[in-house]
Amino acid sequence: MSWQGSISDLMCLAHEVAHAVQLQLSAGSFMPPVARETCAFLGELALIDWARRTQTDLASKLLRVWREENQRYFGDDCALLRAAQADPESAYTYRMNYPLARAAAVVMWRARGDLQRLFKAGSEAIAHLPLSRIADLAGQSQNYLPPLPLPDTDQPAIDAYRALGAMALLDIDFSKGESELRIEDYYATLLNHLQNRTAFVALDEVRRPVGYATWRKAAGDNTVTLTRQAAPFGDHLLLQKALERHLGQESDVHAQHPRSARQEQVAW
Ligand SMILES: [Zn+2]
């Protein structure tokens, strides 16, 4: 590469180093291009993640490069793939591998899967790509909500109001009680939950809100009583799993179902 010291050069270096690591770990077994590029994009995400924890200024610059490059991978490169589907005689170009590899890297990074297994897999690597999960995500067209930006540690109030906005949008689709409240009561309740840190918005792999929960915590013990769980697009399991991680599995959690016969049920 022609190193000029720019941020995109740094990203390029992370990409190529990840290729080198994959070549070493696969020990001579030839990895198909889509999987190979997934490894390289994972290298870029690892660099961004490291910067987010150690140098937030660098992280935001790297994120800008990542988003700029998305324009090409999901723009022109996707168009190449689409054109090839319409014309079986069209010539193969290497760039056709990038859109799927980019999506696979994001899904695998967010899922915190076993990345070393992919890097070592060589010619078997395609089996480790989350292709069915990508297809599910692409097919989840009922969730029209836009992805939330990454949290901004300098401006926690903006993140809190974004969370509040996401909860309101989820409630518009979910109804079941909240949509009948007066706006000022609804706002006061959620604001109170945010201030007490007893509200949580679950996001999918591409950071779209899929559901939210609020709870009450008993003083002095680990008992958490869920007061609301809203997942309007059918992601109840995803919400529950994310909530479990958020609250810690040692909490004793009960769910309140105001409209069911049994008023209180153990959630997990
Ligand atoms: Zn590459």
Do residues 121 and 28 share a domain? Answer: yes
Within a domain: 119: yes
Contact 118, 37 (CB under 8 A): no
Q: What is the pLDDT of residue 191?
A: 92
Centre of ligand 1 from the C-alpha of residue 32, in Å: 12
Contact 244, 198 (CB under 8 A): no
Centre of ligand 1 from the C-alpha of residue 150, in Å: 25
Q: How many domains does the chain have?
A: 2
Summarize pLDDT for 60-88 with one digit per residue, the tens: 999 999 999 999 998 999 999 889 988 98
Within a domain: 224: yes
Q: Which long-range contacts (CB under 8 A, 24 or more apart) does 149-153 make?
A: 149/207, 150/52, 150/63, 150/207, 153/56
Centre of ligand 1 from the C-alpha of residue 187, in Å: 48
CATH number of the domain at 172, please: 3.40.630
Within a domain: 147: no
pLDDT bucket at 14, cuts 50 / 70 / 90: very high
pLDDT bucket at 265, cuts 50 / 70 / 90: very low
Within a domain: 150: no
Centre of ligand 1 from the C-alpha of residue 259, in Å: 54
Centre of ligand 1 from the C-alpha of residue 18, in Å: 9
Within a domain: 79: yes
d(CA 62, CA 209): 24
The continuous run of DSSP H or E covering 25 comes out as helix 7-25
Centre of ligand 1 from the C-alpha of residue 233, in Å: 35
Centre of ligand 1 from the C-alpha of residue 96, in Å: 12
Neighbours of 82 (CB within 10 A): 10
Do residues 189 and 245 share a domain? Answer: yes
- Which residue segment(s) compose the domain that 171 sits in? 156-266
Centre of ligand 1 from the C-alpha of residue 109, in Å: 17
Within a domain: 144: no
d(CA 231, CA 228): 10
Do residues 73 and 194 share a domain? Answer: no
Centre of ligand 1 from the C-alpha of residue 258, in Å: 53
Within a domain: 2: no
Within a domain: 60: yes
Summarize pLDDT for 137-182 with one digit per residue, the tens: 776 657 888 888 888 888 888 888 999 999 999 988 776 667 778 8
- Strands across the sheet containing 264-266: 199-203, 209-217, 223-230, 252-256, 264-266
The continuous run of DSSP H or E covering 154 comes out as none
Q: What is the pLDDT of residue 145?
A: 87
Do residues 104 and 135 share a domain? Answer: yes
Q: Which of 75, 109, 139 is the last residue of a domain?
A: 139
